[in-house]
């Protein structure tokens, strides 16, 4: 299960979530070998502007879901998220994180299924209250231009680093499905740097220097 939402209003953040289970048959040349299985997934959001209450709310819901199963999950998967969504050629993260995990099979299978289900069920309470607060806010052309610049970063990460996207492109997957996560429009400007102290700069600083929000 996977979804990406790109709101029109620059004050409403982009959301991405994906939860998946893989199981493979034993290799043909190794009869009797055990099947391999693992879980992967995560929920993260990518705002163009920081509203600290929104960020804390989003991360709190992720932590609540994790803590029901293991108190080590949230700090572990939060860092994993920050590391995974790193745009190396920009030295910044795609957004303000959330949780992310992959190749997870070092716990009981049923427990991990329940954990993934809990995380998926947490998407709506984590995200919808934020959208309800921000979707009708008035914005300027400058706000919209900044949102489009940040969506340029989103495109860069997905096409250059995202494991699922790059795998699909290299193996001849269905291109419409592979690119469906991209925003409708994006923008690039040569050597664009927001003025220090502005709201745009605060967002960029948080993407360069991940924070502990809760």
Q: Which residues are catalytic?
A: 16
E-assigned strand segments in 79-201: 86-87, 92-93, 98-104
- Dump the DSSP string for 13-34: PEEEEEEEEEEEPPPTTSTTPP
Q: 86 - beta bridge partners?
A: 93
Contact (Cβ atoms closer than 8 angstroms) between residue 62 and residue 129 = no
- Using the Cα atoms of residue 79, residue 150, residue 18 and residue 52 in order, give the sign of their dihedral: positive
User: Could you tell me which residues come within 8 angstroms of residue 101 by beta carbon, excluding any fewer than 6 positions away?
Assistant: 39, 40, 41, 42, 76, 77, 80
Per DSSP, helices labelled H in 20-100 are: 52-67, 73-84
Contact (Cβ atoms closer than 8 angstroms) between residue 186 and residue 147 = no
Of 59, 49, 53, 65, which Cα lies nearest the Cα of 7?
49
How far apart are the two ends of the chain, measured CA to CA in Å?
27
């Amino acid at each position: 299960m996977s979804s990406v939402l790109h709101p029109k209003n620059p004050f409403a953040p982009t959301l991405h979530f994906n939860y998946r289970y893989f199981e493979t048959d034993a290799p043909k040349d190794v009869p009797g070998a055990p099947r391999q299985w693992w879980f992967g997934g995560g929920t993260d959001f990518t705002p163009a502007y920081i509203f600290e209450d929104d960020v804390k709310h989003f991360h709190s819901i992720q932590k609540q879901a994790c803590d029901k199963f293991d108190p080590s999950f949230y700090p572990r998967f939060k860092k994993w998220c920050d590391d995974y969504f790193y745009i190396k050629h920009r030295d910044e993260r795609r957004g303000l994180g959330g949780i992310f995990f992959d190749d997870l099979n070092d716990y009981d299978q049923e427990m991990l299924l329940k954990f993934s289900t809990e995380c998926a069920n947490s998407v709506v309470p984590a995200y919808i209250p934020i959208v309800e607060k921000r979707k009708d806010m008035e914005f300027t052309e400058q706000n919209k231009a900044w949102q489009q610049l940040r969506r340029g970063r989103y495109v860069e990460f997905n096409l250059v680093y995202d494991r699922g996207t790059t795998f699909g492109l290299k193996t001849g997957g269905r291109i419409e499905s592979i690119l469906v996560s991209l925003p409708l429009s994006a923008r690039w400007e040569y050597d664009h740097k927001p003025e220090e102290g502005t709201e745009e700069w605060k967002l960029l600083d948080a993407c360069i220097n991940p924070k502990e929000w809760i």
